[in-house]
Homo-oligomer: A and B are copies of this chain.
């Protein structure tokens, strides 16, 4: 793998690597939502939420369509939920390993 290939991967992961954006993706995995439905789930200013959504849209993880004066957001690539599962696996593995060290004391 060369630097450019690593960079495009990093850009996608970076777009996912924020608690608010993870909450957004998680919510969208349960179905399409407009901004006003997402707002109560994330403790953040409306403009901030709009910006986080823009980041997810820029990398193509989320897409949008208009419905009246609402913009409906859609999780375009649900495969990224696997990246979250993978993060959980890392956590679990790390805790297990530390427990082992603890027992060894």
Contacts and interface: CB of A to CB of B under 8 A. Distances in A.
Interface of A: 1, 3, 6-10, 12-14, 16-23, 26, 42-43, 59-61, 63, 76-77, 79-80, 82-84, 86-91, 93-94, 97
Given A6-B23, A16-B17, 20 more contacts: A3-B23, A6-B20, A8-B91, A9-B87, A10-B16, A10-B17, A10-B18, A10-B21, A12-B87, A13-B87, A14-B14, A14-B17, A14-B18, A59-B94, A76-B93, A76-B94, A76-B97, A80-B90, A82-B86, A83-B87
Looking at chain A's contact residues, is the secondary structure mostly helix, strand, loop, or mixed? helix
Counted per complex, copies of this chain come to 2
Nearest to A88: B9
A37 to B, nearest CB: 16
Given A17-B17, A86-B83, A94-B59, A22 B43 contact: no
Contacts of A90: 12, 59-61, 77, 79-80
A30 to B, nearest CB: 11
